[in-house]
């Protein structure tokens, strides 16, 4: 590379050949822009030689970044190499947090993936990596960022402060002894400075403790023959940890607010807030801030904050442990002592690992240290498991499962979704297994099943193997599988008859593994398709069948009960004494006997669906809705049996009033409500269920050798397999058409209702319907990697997650059942008191019933108490959010909008600022010809376009490719091919020159007469009269290219160029035989819908911002076209996220819309990241909302969907809250003066109606029409 190294830091000087400079203004533009780059120290540009000399820090900047910056300004730049070739640099990176060889592998692969890195050596024992790289392609900052993204703490040796140790030397007697010790130590790696004092008989050593330990230094000294002992050990300032008590947090949004704000606090490097414990653990640099400053910062956020413990000041035990001098003491990484500068990168995960001791100490200070670790030091070892859970009815069930699982050692996170009947659990596999977790859920009264077996990650297969009898069977299976190339692991368990195999999907496939096992003489069974089980679970089929059967059985006893009630209430009312009753024996009437006979089987048989879960719930110290139901029915039954038994024992002349009718009627209405509720729940997930059912279960495999066809399970299809798709069949996997023609319905992916023609080399999607024709496709994506599989995964994740408002509802539901039981007891006590003091109040309601005052009081008090138990319902409250989210995300999926969770669905409704990336988002993301101006009166535009296209046919530049594509598209039917191009030569940054030869083309004759034209004061051959010859010399390029070749540009042509440039387009001139004939404008065309979308957003009072890395002129031109006023241009990818954070600091929610890898940091930094369907995989992963149809108008629909869903959630909460607020006082008899008192079974019906009202309210979203831009879409040239 042309340049020499600077003396200090890491400075180098490089030379570049620039293109396109015409004046001093061009020089100043480039100089100012380069000096703005982080790391550039000096820039010198010579206009005459077009050479630039740039002095920069190659640790912070690469040569390619400088070239790219110049090119973005509209000029060209080419590095000038010296004879020695490229500049190779070696750098050592100190890496903290590597725990195993897998970490080493990840670092190695990550660094080698960087363009320009050609050698990497990673050492686990030394916690460092040695990297050799080409400075023209890579920079040290790129290396640091790459390792930091993996979750490790990384730094440079220059940034690590020195440690100081002093030893007392007993036998030191002369200067010669001191010198010999110094010489020995100075040569040791890691030693920076040695000073031996003869007068004090001491040796002071400054050293890097990541390379050397104090005990090793002591051994080096003693090896010279002198005994020594440690006097002092000075270590650079440690990171401090402090634990704070924070009062006033009410939800996870409070947690996020505190963590986000403290992250900007100077000196804070780590923060973890616990809502459950009301604590905040903060890790900070002691030289930059103190615990009291952090406490005040939290106070300023509106919370009460107090310091529980400052570890740096109070933890003497930890301090002493840090000072222990042992050869393997590397608990405190030197990387964490480094200054907090721009070259020190860390992630949450690596911070947790490095600060293990600090956080363990803070955890002991909390009230539940064994179960709630503030910063989980085991995070690196946690695994995730999913479970299906049957039997949940309301949010109290959710609360019961989550709270009890969190108490189990080894479980760190629990998320239960009521409607999806699914739970996500993160656990430590060393402490607990998924089967044990499922057993724990079963013991709570629910049915749990591990989902992990049917949802293997790519490259993994789990099968059931029949026929194994001993360990040799296991060994033979594993040996047979390992013979298959590409298989990396095989684990067969005899006891469970299960085999788990991992393989490289590019080399091996599941079918080969199954065939190998069967070839060994065993029977293989694939687990049921994950898609089928998900569809069954989401449609609630088993639950619907269960409650339908329970309702019909209960109805057999409920109908006779209702008939008896009507008979005795209407035909033979009880308005007198016992003599009017049909008595069987003393104290027992025919009515009570019949009701007892009907209530008993219902109580002990029909009530089992409620009784068993209630008992298990109580065993775990929790109470759900089933507990209330069982209490209501059991109390009714036991009260009735008791008073009836007393009447018979005392041989009373009349039979008492009982609640036997309550039991069957209550169960009937409850089962009916649960049945209808299950049906409605299934309807809320209909959209996702339909998506899942699109994918077929089998595929028609075609052997590549003999072309035999065989139908196989879809799970056995591997990448590269040939699959035959017959007319009327569905495509089983994503693939590429090898042969055949047909029409395919892809409406489930694209939303386009019309069939799409498919020809060889076209892409087909899983779940698409082949309408006609036979297609032979080669599988490219299988299993969960298919487009449909990813869509299903996105939608299911969204429907499983919880919105912040739902988390509050679940907490309320957790306290609901105990509160209702308390109200029931209070109701019983109050009416008992009223009955004993003023029984006339009760008798005024009962009428002429002649029972005793005690009997009347007890009967009425128990009736009100039981009605309170049966009418109160947290179900409606718990269903308010998930049902709306289910329907909302399903509606979004139908419209090509995929929202990854309930939280972004809620946040999107609050967004006030929307930032757009330019390239690929506002624009189409590809260069295309926007205008073609022909200045020739002789040569028609068609042949002229063909000539320019022929000249560009050999070009690799995006502009050249765009012009070539335009020319091919403009070919007429008569013009089958472009003319021939010879002697092609391209100069980067300027243009091209070549010769175009016509073989069988119409020749447009040249005019031999020169015409004098007064244009810009020059004499020209009139371009309007210039034709084409047999061989034509062609130039295509910018102004400088034309001037260098002596081609004059007329005033009209110059004006056309300026017009294009003002529009932010790239304009090139085409000259034929020395005369400029045409101007071609090329740009990244604005999407047809962009202006309509921006206009609509502005009408809705959104602030719209264009955030791009392009130059300001181009950005402003594009912004003007679509109507955006606020433009932030020339922003590097790493700075885009900072700009988003600046927008968020205004206190409003910000959404970012992008499509590229460079947009990923901004997508993550925004409150809601939105990616287009054709975005890069990285951008889609970073985004929370994906517009799968690649249409910006879907952004309007997504916002409207979010607002309508949140509005529906609020309506649901109002319905649920009003129901409980009104029904419980009514059930308790508070409206008795108005003559309003409910019977228990009426309360049960009302309870079922409340849940149904919420479900039906959510289902109204299914018919919602999503908003689209009203402005008609116009195409912009």
**DSSP conformational letter for 1234:** G
CB neighbours of residue 351 within 10 Å: 22
What would the two tokens of residue 564 be?
Answer: 């008896």
What is the rounded CA–CA span in Å between residue 867 and residue 714? 54
**DSSP conformational letter for 569:** I
> Residues near 1060 by Cβ (< 8 Å), separated by ≥ 6?
931, 1066, 1067, 1079, 1081
What is the rounded CA–CA span in Å between residue 960 and residue 1037? 10
What three-state secondary structure class fits 170? coil
What three-state secondary structure class fits 919? helix
Triad 546, 551, 556: Cα angle to 5°:
135
Q: Which of 721, 810, 917, 1159 is catalytic?
A: 917
Q: Which of 726, 603, 718, 708 is nearest to 664 (CA)?
A: 603
**DSSP conformational letter for 570:** I
CB neighbours of residue 11 within 10 Å: 18
What is the rounded CA–CA span in Å between residue 212 and residue 382? 33
Strands 1075-1086, 923-934: pairing is antiparallel
Q: Which of 202, 239, 190 is nearest to 359 (CA)?
A: 239
Q: Which of 373, 390, 394, 391 is nearest to 382 (CA)?
A: 373
φ and ψ at residue 986, rounded to 5 degrees = -115, 140
Length of the chain, please?
1277
Cβ–Cβ under 8 Å, residues 574 and 581: yes
Cβ–Cβ under 8 Å, residues 1224 and 872: yes
CA 936 and chain centroid, separation: 56
**CB environment 130-139: b (16+ within 10 A), e (fewer):** ebebbbbbbb
Strands 1185-1187, 1168-1172: pairing is parallel
What is the rounded CA–CA span in Å between residue 809 and residue 406? 19
What would the two tokens of residue 256 be?
Answer: 């996020």
Roughly what angle, to the nearest 10 degrees, separates helices 1193-1227 and 804-837? Answer: 10
- Whether residue 1054 lies in the annotated active site: no
Q: Where are the beta strands (DSSP E) in 162-237?
A: 163-169, 191-197, 202-207, 228-234
Cβ–Cβ under 8 Å, residues 1051 and 931: no
What three-state secondary structure class fits 527? coil
CA-based Rg of the chain, rounded to a whole angstrom?
39
What would the two tokens of residue 910 be?
Answer: 């609050």
Cβ–Cβ under 8 Å, residues 76 and 18: yes
What would the two tokens of residue 380 be?
Answer: 């690196």
CA 584 and chain centroid, separation: 70
What is the rounded CA–CA span in Å between residue 935 and residue 1071? 11
Three-state SS sequence of 1049-1092: CCHHHHHHHHHHHHCCCEEEEEEECCEEEEEEEEEEEECCCHHH
Instruction: Tell me the sheet residues that pair with 16.
Output: 52, 79
What would the two tokens of residue 1190 be?
Answer: 């690649």
What is the rounded CA–CA span in Å between residue 1028 and residue 1047? 17
**DSSP conformational letter for 345:** B
Residues recognised as catalytic? 917
């Amino acid at each position: 590379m042309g340049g020499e190294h600077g003396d200090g830091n890491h400075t180098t000087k490089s030379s570049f050949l620039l293109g396109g400079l015409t004046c001093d203004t061009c020089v100043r533009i480039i100089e100012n822009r380069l000096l703005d780059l982080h790391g550039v120290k000096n820039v010198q540009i010579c206009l005459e030689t077009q050479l630039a000399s740039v002095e920069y820090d190659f640790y912070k900047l690469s040569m390619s970044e400088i070239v790219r910056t110049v090119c973005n300004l509209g000029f060209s730049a080419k590095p000038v190499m010296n004879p020695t070739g490229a500049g190779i640099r070696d750098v050592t990176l100190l890496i903290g947090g590597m725990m195993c060889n897998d970490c080493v592998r990840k670092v190695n692969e990550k660094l080698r993936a960087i363009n320009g890195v050609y050698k990497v050596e990673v050492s686990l024992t030394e916690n460092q990596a040695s990297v050799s790289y080409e400075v023209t392609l890579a920079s040290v900052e790129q290396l640091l960022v790459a390792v930091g993204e993996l979750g490790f703490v990384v730094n440079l040796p220059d940034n690590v402060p020195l440690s100081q140790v002093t030893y007392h030397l007993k036998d030191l007697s002369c200067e010669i002894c001191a010198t010999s010790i110094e010489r020995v130590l100075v040569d040791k790696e890691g030693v920076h400075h040695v000073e031996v004092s003869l007068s004090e008989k001491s040796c002071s050593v400054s050293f890097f403790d990541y390379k050397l330990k104090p005990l090793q230094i002591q051994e080096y000294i003693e090896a010279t023959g002198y005994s020594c002992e440690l006097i002092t050990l000075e270590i650079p300032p440690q990171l401090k940890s402090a634990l704070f008590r924070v009062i006033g947090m009410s939800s996870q949004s409070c947690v996020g607010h505190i963590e986000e704000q403290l992250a900007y606090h100077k000196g804070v490097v780590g923060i973890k807030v616990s809502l459950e414990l009301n604590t905040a653990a903060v890790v900070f640099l002691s030289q930059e801030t103190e615990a009291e400053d952090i406490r005040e910062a939290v106070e300023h956020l509106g919370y009460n904050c107090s310091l529980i413990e400052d570890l740096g000041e109070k933890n003497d035990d930890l301090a002493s442990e840090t000072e222990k001098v042992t050869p393997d003491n590397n608990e405190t990484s030197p990387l964490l002592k480094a200054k907090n500068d721009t070259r020190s990168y860390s992630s949450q995960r690596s911070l947790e690992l490095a600060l293990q001791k600090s956080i363990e100490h803070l955890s002991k200070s909390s009230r539940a240290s064994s179960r709630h670790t503030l910063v989980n030091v085991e995070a690196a070892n946690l695994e995730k498991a999913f479970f299906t859970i049957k039997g949940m009815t309301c949010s109290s069930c959710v609360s019961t499962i989550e709270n009890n699982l969190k108490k189990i050692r080894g479980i760190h996170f629990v998320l239960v979704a009521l409607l999806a009947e699914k739970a996500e659990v993160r656990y430590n596999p060393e402490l607990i297994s998924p089967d044990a977790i499922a057993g724990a859920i079963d013991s709570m009264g629910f049915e749990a099943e591990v989902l992990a077996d049917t949802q293997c990650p790519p490259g993994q297969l789990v099968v059931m193997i029949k026929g194994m009898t001993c360990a040799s069977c296991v060994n033979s299976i594993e040996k047979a599988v390992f013979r298959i190339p590409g298989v990396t692991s095989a684990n067969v368990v005899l006891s469970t008859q299960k085999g788990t195999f991992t393989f490289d999907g590019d080399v091996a496939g599941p079918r080969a593994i199954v065939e190998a096992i069967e070839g060994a003489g065993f029977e293989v069974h694939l687990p049921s398709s994950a898609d089928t089980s998900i569809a069954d679970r989401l449609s609630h089929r088993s639950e619907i069948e269960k409650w339908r059967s329970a309702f019909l059985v209960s109805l057999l006893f409920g109908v006779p009960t209702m008939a008896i009630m009507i008979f005795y209430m209407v035909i033979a009312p009880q308005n007198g004494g016992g003599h009017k009753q049909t008595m069987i024996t003393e104290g027992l009437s025919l009515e009570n006997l019949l009701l007892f006979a009907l209530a008993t089987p219902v109580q002990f048989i029909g009530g089992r669906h409620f009784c068993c879960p209630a008992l298990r719930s109580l065993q775990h110290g929790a109470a759900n809705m089933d507990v209330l139901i069982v209490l209501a029915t059991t109390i009714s039954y036991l009260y009735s049996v008791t008073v009836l038994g007393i009447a018979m024992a005392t041989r009373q002349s009349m039979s008492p009033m009982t609640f036997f009718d309550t039991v069957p009627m209550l169960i009937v209405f409850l089962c009916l409500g649960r049945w209808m509720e299950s049906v409605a729940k299934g309807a809320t997930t209909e959209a996702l269920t339909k998506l899942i059912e699109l994918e077929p279960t089998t595929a028609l495999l075609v052997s590549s050798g003999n072309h035999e066809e065989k139908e196989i399970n879809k799970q056995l299809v591997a990448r590269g397999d040939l699959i035959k798709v017959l007319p009327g069949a569905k495509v089983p996997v994503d693939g590429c058409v090898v042969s055949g023609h047909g029409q395919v319905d892809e409406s489930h992916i694209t939303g386009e209702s019309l069939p799409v023609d498919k020809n060889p080399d076209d892409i087909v999607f899983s779940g698409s319907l082949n309408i006609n024709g036979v297609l032979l496709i080669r599988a490219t994506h299988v299993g969960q990697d298919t487009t449909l599989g990813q869509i299903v995964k996105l939608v299911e994740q969204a429907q499983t997650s919880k919105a912040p408002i739902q988390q509050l509802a679940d907490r309320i539901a957790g306290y609901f059942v105990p509160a209702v039981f308390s109200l029931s007891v209070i109701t019983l006590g109050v009416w008992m008191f009223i009955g004993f003091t003023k029984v006339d109040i009760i008798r005024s309601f009962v009428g002429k019933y002649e029972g005793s005052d005690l009997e009347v009081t007890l009967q009425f008090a128990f009736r009100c108490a039981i009605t309170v138990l049966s009418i109160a319902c947290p179900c409606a409250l718990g269903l308010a959010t998930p049902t709306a989210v289910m329907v909302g995300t399903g509606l979004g999926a139908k419209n090509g909008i995929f929202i990854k969770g309930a939280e972004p669905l809620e946040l999107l409704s609050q967004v006030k600022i929307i930032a757009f990336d330019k390239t690929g988002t506002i624009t189409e993301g590809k260069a295309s010809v926007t205008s073609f101006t022909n200045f020739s009166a002789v040569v028609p535009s068609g042949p002229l376009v063909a000539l320019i296209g022929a000249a560009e046919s050999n070009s690799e530049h995006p502009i050249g490719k765009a012009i070539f594509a335009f020319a091919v598209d403009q070919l007429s039917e008569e013009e089958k091919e472009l003319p021939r191009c010879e002697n092609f030569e391209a100069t980067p940054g300027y243009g091209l020159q070549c010769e175009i030869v016509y073989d069988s083309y119409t020749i447009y004759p040249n005019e031999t007469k020169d015409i004098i034209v007064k244009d810009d004061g020059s004499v020209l051959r009139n371009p309007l009269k210039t034709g084409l010859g047999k061989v034509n010399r062609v130039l295509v390029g910018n102004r400088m290219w034309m001037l260098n070749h002596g081609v004059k540009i007329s005033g009209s042509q110059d004006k056309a160029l300026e017009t294009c440039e003002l529009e932010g387009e790239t304009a090139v001139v085409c000259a034929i035989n020395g005369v400029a004939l045409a101007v071609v404008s090329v740009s990244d065309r604005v999407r047809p819908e962009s202006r309509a979308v921006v206009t609509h957003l502005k009408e809705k009072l959104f602030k719209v911002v264009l955030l791009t890395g392009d130059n300001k002129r181009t950005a402003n031109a594009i912004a003007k076209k679509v109507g955006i006023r606020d433009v932030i241009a020339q922003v590097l990818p790493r700075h885009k996220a900072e700009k988003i954070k600046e927008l968020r600091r205004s206190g409003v929610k910000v959404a970012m819309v992008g499509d590229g890898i460079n947009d990923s940091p901004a997508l993550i930094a925004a409150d809601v990241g939105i990616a287009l369907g054709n975005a890069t995989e990285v951008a889609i992963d970073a985004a929370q909302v994906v517009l799968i149809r690649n249409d910006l108008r879907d952004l309007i629909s997504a916002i409207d969907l979010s607002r309508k869903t949140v509005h529906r959630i609020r309506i649901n909460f109002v319905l649920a809250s009003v129901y409980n607020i009104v029904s419980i006082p009514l059930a308790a008899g508070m409206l008795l003066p108005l003559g309003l008192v409910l019977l228990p079974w009426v309360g049960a019906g009302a309870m079922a109606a409340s849940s149904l009202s919420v479900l039906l309210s959510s289902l109204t979203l299914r018919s919602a029409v999503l908003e689209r831009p009203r402005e008609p879409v116009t195409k912009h040239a």
